[in-house]
Structure 1
Amino acid sequence: MNRRSLIAAAAALPFLPLPRPAGAAEALPGLNILVPAAPGGGWDGLGRAIEHVATQAGLVGRFQFENLPGGAGTVGLARFVTQRRGKADSLLVAGSSVVGSAIASKSPVSLKDVVPVARLTEEAAVIVVPANSEFRDIRQFAEALRAEPRGIPIAGAGGGTVDHVVLCLLFKALGRKALEAQFVSFPGGGATQSAVIGAQVKAAVAGWSEFSEQMAAGRVRALATSGTRRLHPDVPTLRESGYDVTTTNWRGIFAAPGVPAASQRTLVDFVTALHATPAWAELLKTRGWDDAFLTGQDFAAFVAKDQADTESVLKELGLA
């Protein structure tokens, strides 16, 4: 066989993942991932990122996804709790937004009803406006909110979510009441993107990665972020702009209730192996996600504290 024939034959072969190093986690036959939001948002993005890296690394044989939006994550959470109970091949993608939405809506289910496996990422929220918006910077936008708080509809992923909390904290910093905010809830990042690009709303609050493509393409303009550092040289943080708002959005994965301890350890081993791959580190940089890796009991303790802290903030803002 000549060199050209050899290359052609190799190209015709199916993709085979690279072999895992000795001592790496055993490959899982399959994983069923429930994303409690519509495609296109941050939770969906994390789920698909896990699939991409785990498949290439040979850590999982197959993936099956279900997107179930509603109630800012609480509808999918309830489905996961009732229908995936005891199923060790099932994972829920969730995070800080469902903590707040469950509290704000007085949902009968919360993250207390599932098993924390790993916190994976953290990112700041961004306030964006349509490309042709009259608001040229965050100060102009903030002054318009101060002057006419009920006249500026702003999109986000749901009541009590990080999107909603960031907006309400900005209102508080402006000396206005959080309940004056004209927050328009959408079932995930994809729908929020469509709303602001289509000028159905004046602005939107979402995770940085949820609007990164639209910002790069010039469809929307970023006014400010909610983190502690700039994510782009031209986009200031709210705090450096003079508004006392600093908060981020963490995301992670959870196992179903009733899953045996041995299976929980297997899932932790899987995500630990995933996190150790160079491909995962590169993906974090590409998406603008901060590495927030935490597993097992440490993650469970973090979730419990976050629930208590979030409830306190929502009560202070009049949202719970």
Structure 2
Amino acid sequence: MATLLARGARRLSLRHIRRLTAVPPSAAPPRVRAVYDQVETEFGMLAPPVALHAAAPEVLDAVWLMLRETLLAGRPGDRAEKEAVAAAVSAANSCPYCTEVHGAALAGLRPGADARLIAGGRVEEVRDPRLRSLARWARDGRPPPPDVGPSGRAAAIGVAVTFHYLNRMVNIFLEDSPLAGAPAVPRAVGRRAAPRLFGRLARTRVVPGRPATTPHLPGDLTWAAPIASIGDAMVRACAAIEAAGAAVLPGAVRDLVEARLDDPRECGPGLGLRPWADAALRDLPEEQRAVGRLALLAAYASSRVADADIAAVRAAGLGDGALVRLTAWASMAAARRAGRVLSAGGTG
């Protein structure tokens, strides 16, 4: 049953969603409502980064499973380190919404300057050596933390991959701040209160799931092997999102994005977004270029997706569900690449 806080936060949470029609609990189909209820019970409120996926229920299931098993589940004492990873990745991906939320959660768990420094991208100034090492690794991939064993590495990479995914979706479909639209004074009060609220929610114990079988991990997910619940969640989430993307994205677009992600020379658009995108898309048929552009931007420059990019895809006939599936596929492809980089850093 939802708490008073969760019930009160529903309307405000759904207002954060843009470019998609939010699905309120009262209008949600049973599959979506079941996820909403579990999010409110275990996260403490309906988290907009999860709720934005409601138009694609199979993707919603996958994202909640991934977030639950990597960030929420496990020993509450490990949560501060996970929040440090989440905040560092979010800052590196220029995702102000996630940086604000997870920086506040870290501040609530570990009061002091370190949370502000991590959220501000000033990792080298963090005083706690373990948090500094984890945050640097999450941001850069190397060097690996010196004292993190296989299970700790699996947990940290799991959180990082989850937030490489979520940051991209949040940049595209949420406002820049959980306090967006609030007047200046209430916004300032909300920011002062956020560490206490999110810190309290982060102390909730969530029991890891119990996989029915030992998951078969593809090569790029073998880092998850030490924690069966994370391995199972990642395999299931990745398979669901892969299938969702295949249902809406032409094979040529998926091949293009994957080839770019596999190319060590590819570093994204830099300042020249339009020439970079035009050059990347020139071999695609004209009718596939709008979806190809959005997929590339989701993978490489999610914060630079414009309303015109969304409108072009809608003009090609894609509705909310297809938009979520398209961007989810590209975001997960980029997140899995980030996991490969972190895994190499964690073993080298």
- After TM superposition, the score normalised by the length of structure 1 is 0.29
Relative contact order (C-alpha < 8 Å, sep 6+): which is higher? 1
Q: Write 1 or 2 for the structure with the bigger share of helix.
A: 2
- Bigger share in strand: 1
Larger Rg: 1
Structure 2 length-normalised TM: 0.28
